[in-house]
Amino acid sequence: MGEAPAFVSDDLFGKVPNEIGVKVIGHQTATSVGDRTYVIGGTDDESSSTIGVWILDKSNKWTTPSVLGMLPKPAEGHSAVLVNEDRILVVIENNSSNNCFWFLEIDTPFVREQKQKLGGEVVAWSRGVLGDVGKPIVISGPSGVGKGTLISKLMKEFRSMFGFSVSHTTRGPREKEQDGVHYHFSERSIMEKAITDMKFLEFASVHGNLYGTSVEAVEVVADAGKRCILDIDVQGARSVRASPLEAIFIFVCPPSFEELEKRLRARGTETEEQVQKRLRNARTELDQGKSPGLFDHVLINDDLEGCYARLKELLGLDKDGISLHTTLPESVDLPRVHSISKCGQRVLINCGQELDASSNKTFVLDLSSLKGGALGRTRGLHVHVMKSSEAGTNGITMLL
């Protein structure tokens, strides 16, 4: 078992304040990865305090990378350990489990892609979450195909298992609409910046107003232990597919175009001009729905109950309505950390008071089932907690 390839430095920046361009405060760690050292520490840029990241190369040149994702707040202390050569686990001390594990991605596929786009050094933060939640579900299909009815049946039967994300819009709230309930109402400049910062999975301009689904809105549903359902058009599905979000993509289509037209006309709520417009859009969506690699599954809604049964099967729901793919999130409180080490896909975090060994605990963090990542959450972490009396060689070996 080796110690984490990281060290703590209180004066690492003493010789290079001008190159960094910000005031570095508090605790810092440095993690060596090949010929680079990634330094993580608190900063104070006069507008807000946050955790900063800098890169020191073998020629002793400092670089400040572009930092993507939601940033952790600075704390009294943190520890860092390299994970799989492409990301660094950062453990924030004196915090609850929903805010103490963070990943700094340094060479993941997402980061490499952003380096090419931005033409410079890039890192990305992602908050680690204990436990597993099923992948979000993207459901698309032309108007009148019955996807809304299928989703309604799913929500009614499994209300505690599925949830909708709350979309963002730049239009003003209508009567009785509540911010954060019906929509997240946003100023246009703020939403445009968030789109530029890649914080949206998909967006569109409708009648001069922006509408979109943010990464955070989807993650909030998962944080509640629910699988998020996204009811979006094919273009929106294409945008989500191009994002880092891992989701299940389902396209619902009619048994024939003639049947779809029959269903649309049976509504009796639209003019002939509106029906023709929907039919034109439907034909386009049906063609786009055949795009290779866009959708994982295609459901033909020739019979509502039969189609609904196939949908439940695709989502891993057994006959009793229990998901076969969900583990309820765990929760721990992480006290002060005074050592951290890594062995394979396990990280040992020793916590407590150095002068009172009897109260110390060892947390064994299992990283073997990580899912997701920037710009959302990194999920699939599992933790085992042992008191100091249990954390001897035999106890740790059993968990490792």
Task: Measure the CA angle with vertex 195, ends 75 and 66; round to 5°.
Answer: 50
Distance of CA 350 to the CA centre of its chain: 28
Residue 267 is encoded by which pair of tokens? 């509504």
- 377 a catalytic residue: no
Q: Which of 159, 188, 267, 280 is labelled catalytic?
A: 267
Question: Is 265 among the residues known to form the active site?
Answer: no
Sequence length of the chain is 400
Q: Which of 127, 227, 278, 377 is catalytic?
A: 278
36 Cα distance to chain centroid: 27
Q: Which residue has the tokens 């789109």?
A: 195
CB 237 within 8 A of CB 249: yes
Residue 284 near residue 240 (C-beta atoms within 8 A): no
In this structure, what is the dihedral angle of CA atoms 329, 331, 336, 340, given to the nearest 10 degrees?
-40
DSSP state letters, 195-256: HHTT-EEEEEEETTEEEEEEHHHHHHHHHTT-EEEEE--HHHHHHHHHSS---EEEEEE-S-
State CA 308 to chain mean position distance. 28
36 catalytic per annotation: no
CA distance 229 to 217: 11
CA-based nearest residue to 163, from 154, 174, 172, 176: 154
Q: Residue written as tokens 């295609």? A: 298
Q: Report how far Cα 150 is from the mean position of its chain's Cα atoms.
A: 26
Kindly tell me the sign of the dihedral angle through the C-alpha atoms of 234, 237, 241, 242. positive
Alpha-carbon distance 295 to 288, whole Å? 10
Question: Which three-class secondary structure state does DSSP give residue 68?
Answer: strand
Catalytic residues: 174, 267, 278
